[in-house]
Amino acid sequence: MSQSLEHSLTSWSGQALKHKASWIDDIDARVRVVCSALFALVVVSSQFFTPTLLGLLCAFMLVKASKLNIKRTLRRVVAMDLFMLTLICVLPFTTPGDAIFTVMGLTASWQGLLHALLITVKANAVLLVLFSLVATMSASTLGHALAHLKVPDKLVHLLLFMVRYLDVISQEYKKMRRAMQARAFVLRTNRHTWKSIGYLFGMLLIRSVERAERISDAMKCRGFCGRYYLNDEMKIRSMDWVFAIVFLSFLILLIGLNINGLF
């Protein structure tokens, strides 16, 4: 992806997953966003394990192709799976079906367990594809791609300004925390600590609002009329078409497997 898409004011260093350069980075941002959205739609709507597991396999291949750090990526996936573990523990007891075992009068069913596992596989597949295709691009590039895809301007503006000023708000927070530490403030589980933390976030909110008002006035002085003009020209090349066609063909295969009702 051309670096010309990077907005000159973007200073947030953590806006994309750290990874080595790969051919995925050369795919047009719009193609990556659309393919990710279609993949999520197809996988989430699948009712059988075969297409879902194939989607998970495709997700792992994309992770490998995008040259993400495997350990860091799996660590993020495990963090989500800890939540999914709760689903696996609860859903068998709330879904009627063939009993596996009974605990304190509650019966766990095979159907509930399989349903929970299916949801877990879906979530992992979608998350890995988002990591590979979307999270590897910068947030400003994502904002520009959404703008070219005719996403409502207000949503695009919100994303771009958030990327620009999230680091600024973070620096404000760090300054106030250092000021508290200079006054010998130590976190404890008492009323004074909770009151101080409340004051901290209250002042952070006030400073954020004040800065937003100053930014708004400055932009109006420069002729801002509610529209963010994009000067970047995003052109789809033959490589983008090839990737899109192959990816869509795979999604059609998943839809066919789901229609045929393969387990």
Q: 């859903």: which residue's tokens?
A: 91
Residues of the chain with pLDDT under 70: 1-18, 228-232, 261-263
- Structure confidence at residue 14 (pLDDT): 45
Q: What is the pLDDT of residue 73?
A: 84
Per-residue pLDDT, 158:
82
Residue 9: predicted pLDDT: 37
Supply 139's token pair: 């947030």
- DSSP label at 6? S
End-to-end CA, the chain: 39
pLDDT of residue 231: 66
For residue 232, what are its two tokens?
A: 């970047």
pLDDT at 99: 77
